[in-house]
Structure 1
Amino acid sequence: MSSTITLDLIKSIAPIAAPAGLAIGAALCVGRDIIAKIIFPNLTKKQNFWIVMFTAFTFLTLGLSSIAAWVYVSIASFGAQPPASITYPPISMEVLKNLTYRIDDDFITLQGGKREFAPDTGRELPDKDIAVYLVDHAFGDIDGDGNGDAIAVLQASEGGSGIYYYLATVFIDRGNARAYGKAYVLGDRVEIRSVSIQGENVVVQLMMHADNDGLCCPTQFRTLEFVLKDRKLQCTTEPCSEV
């Protein structure tokens, strides 16, 4: 049989041993006169002295050890409790409409779900025309931390014929919503049918271009699935993008 004393053994003994040690010590104090009358008259003074010292030391050690074990178990149990997770309010549609997103190398802050720039009026991007719109979204818990996340579908153009679609991941960071990293580009003039968060996967249904399709009119229906890796979307189905 192993003689190793485990924490579980101490846990089971300590709640009983602590009060038991105190109770025995109290009983010894109360009954010392009775013991003295019955036993001590038959012994020498030296024997009486050593019996008293041994008994007192034994019960004192038992009592203190039991209390120490109980305190240790209490502290260990308290320290072993997992920290309570913090749950923040879910991301709202209003937040998505006014959030800052990274489109390629540009940081665009939407206002009411859109942002438009022109060379003569836009200060943030004076060298190009650009328009960004929030066209779809989905809510869910992508990273499994108990807080609500979101996927924003963004449409962006730079004044030409190209109209590009992006997926942006939005997480709660210390109570504040934040779009994480570059938005994932899906392609030029694809048609988004739906976006959803299913468990920890992001599913996008869309029309993509077949080999002979014109850019105006994609005819290939596809379902793309994404997972998170370092909080970035990683596509698990091919082709994942037309770019």
Structure 2
Amino acid sequence: MAEEISEDKKKKKKKLVVAFTSLQKNLQRACGTFKNAKEWEKFIKEKLDPILKEFEDEIPHSLSEKLKKAAKLDSDTSAGLSKACKLLRSQLGKAIVAMSPVGILAILTKAIFLGGVVLVGAAIIYLRTSTVDIVIKNNGCDSIQPPPKLPFKLPGISIPSEVITDGGQATATMPGITARVNTDATGNVRVTILGISANFIIPPGTNVSFDGTDISGKDLEFNLKDLPQHELIISCR
């Protein structure tokens, strides 16, 4: 589903990522210090619940439920408390990757700076295991040149390297998180995810659609995890 991007929404997403990162850092220090279920539940009520409430409109329902589930105790024992703490830290790492409007390198750098080994691992695992395909189709246009190759490899990201001729198609692989698709009057189509962009140069005035939505001249966000495969159709007919 496409969504127009507003400055307010961008600011809220950044604020949410900061809140998740701060909580993940707090858990890193607190894991192993909880003596009983009462202390753990107090921590969740004071630290996690306010974030979920404040950013209810920004956090996908499925992600919110995963965080709540991770915070639940299997048992009121040291092992149970430790397990819940580790699970929540891991799930927060995935949430930070999924919601972050900044680049993946910035996420990993911040995680390393904070000593967030769990966050780094969660980020890499999430990127590798949540991929979706974006099929780019050329419908009646001159050959579309592939975007420049990335200077480094990133988990879960694969960008087409071949020319897309009239009637042909190519497939990009991306993590199943939020993607930004932008087209402009100069004939540029940009797909951005985690700060990494794939740019396709097309003739000005060309019609462009993403999953059936006309995105010509627009700047939209799509939640890629909604479908295992998406279509970016570039039409000149």
| Structure with greater proportional strand content | 1
Fold shared by both chains (TM-score > 0.5): no
Task: Give the TM bin, normalised by the shorter chain.
Answer: under 0.3
Which structure has the higher relative contact order (CA within 8 Å, separation 6+)? 2
